[in-house]
A and B are shown apart, each in its own frame.
Chain A
Amino acid sequence: MAWNYSEKLKDHFLHPRNVGVLEDADGKGEVGSVACGDALTFYLKTDPQTGRITKATFQTFGCGSAIASASALTEMVIGKTVEEALRITNQDIADYLDGIPQEKMHCSVMGREALEAAVAAMRGEKRAADTHEEGKIVCHCFGVTDRKIERAIRENNLTTVEQVTNYTKAGGGCGTCQAEIEEILNRVLEERRREAPPRPAAAGGARMTQLRKIALIQETIEHEVRPVLQKDGGDIELIDVEGDTVRVSLVGHCAGCMAAGFTTGWIQDKLRELVSDRLTIVIEPPGAAEAQR
Chain B
Amino acid sequence: MKPIYLDNNATTAVAPEVLEAMLPFLRERYGNPSSIHAFGGDVARDVERARERLAALLGAESPTEIVFTSCGTESDNTAILSALEAYPDRRQFITTRVEHPAVLSLAHHLERKGYEVVRVGVDRDGLLDLVELRAALSPRTAIVSAMWANNETGVVFPVEELARMAHEAGALFHTDAVQAVGKIPIDLRRSAIDMLSLSGHKLHAPKGIGALYVRRGTKFRPFLIGGHQERNRRGGTENVPGIVALGAAAELALRHIQEEQTAVRALRDRLENGILERIPDVIVNGHRERRLPNTSNVSFEFVEGEAILLLLDQAGICASSGSACTSGSLEPSHVLRAMGVPFTFAHGSIRFSLSRYNTAEEIDRVLAELPPIIARLREISPFSRAHPVPDCAATCPTGCRGPKSCTPPAPPEDPDPPRRRFGPQHRRR
Residue-wise, chain B 397-414 has the 8 Å CB interface mask toward A (1 for contact) of 111111111100000000
Q: Does B78 interact with chain A (Cβ within 8 Å)?
A: no
Q: Which of B58-66, B214-222, B388-396 contacts A (4 or more CB under 8 A)?
A: B388-396
Residue-wise, chain A 1-36 has the 8 Å CB interface mask toward B (1 for contact) of 111000000000110100110000000001111111
Contact B396 A143 (CB under 8 A): yes
Contact A39 B402 (CB under 8 A): no
Question: Which residue on chain A has the smallest CB distance to residue B391?
Answer: A33
Contact A37 B347 (CB under 8 A): yes
Question: Which residue on chain B has the smallest CB distance to residue A59?
Answer: B382
Contact B331 A38 (CB under 8 A): no
> SS class of chain A's interface: helix, strand, loop or mixed?
mixed
Q: Indicate which residue in A30, A148, A169 contacts B382 across the interface (CB closer than 8 Å).
A: A30
Interface centre among B310, B314, B401, B404 (most CB of A within 10 A): B310
Q: Indicate which residue in A61, A104, A137 contacts B402 across the interface (CB closer than 8 Å).
A: A137
Contact B402 A140 (CB under 8 A): yes
Contact B381 A59 (CB under 8 A): yes
CA distance A30 to B387 in the complex (A): 13
CA distance A117 to B383 in the complex (A): 18
Q: Does A280 interact with chain B (Cβ within 8 Å)?
A: no
Contact B400 A142 (CB under 8 A): yes
Chain B residues with CB under 8 A of A145: 398
Residue-wise, chain A 102-132 has the 8 Å CB interface mask toward B (1 for contact) of 0010000000010001000000000001111
Interface centre among A13, A62, A141, A165 (most CB of B within 10 A): A62
Q: What's the least CB distance linking B34 to chain A, in Å?
A: 40
State which residues 346-396 of B face A: CB under 8 Å.
347, 379-383, 389, 392, 395-396
Interface pairs (26), CB distance under 8 Å: A1-B313, A31-B397, A33-B397, A33-B405, A34-B344, A34-B383, A35-B406, A36-B396, A37-B330, A59-B380, A60-B381, A61-B347, A61-B382, A62-B325, A64-B306, A64-B307, A130-B397, A135-B398, A140-B402, A140-B403, A142-B330, A143-B397, A144-B398, A148-B398, A172-B331, A173-B330
Contact A16 B380 (CB under 8 A): yes
Q: Indicate which residue in B304, B306, B399, B404 contacts A132 across the interface (CB closer than 8 Å).
A: B399
Q: What's the least CB distance linking B326 to chain A, in Å?
A: 8
Contact B380 A35 (CB under 8 A): no
Q: Does B200 interact with chain A (Cβ within 8 Å)?
A: no
Contact A61 B400 (CB under 8 A): no
Q: Indicate which residue in B302, B305, B314, B404 contacts A173 across the interface (CB closer than 8 Å).
A: B404
CA distance A63 to B331 in the complex (A): 13
Chain B: number of interface residues, binned into ranges: 35 or more
Residue-wise, chain B 291-326 has the 8 Å CB interface mask toward A (1 for contact) of 000000000001111110011011000000001110
Question: Which residue on chain B has the smallest CB distance to residue A132?
Answer: B399
Q: Does B425 interact with chain A (Cβ within 8 Å)?
A: no
Contact A67 B307 (CB under 8 A): yes
Chain B residues with CB under 8 A of A132: 398-399
Chain A residues with CB under 8 A of B310: 3, 13, 63-64
With A37-B324, A41-B382: A117-B397 Cβ-Cβ less than 8 Å? yes
With A61-B381, A113-B397, A137-B402: A172-B307 Cβ-Cβ less than 8 Å? no
Contact A137 B398 (CB under 8 A): yes
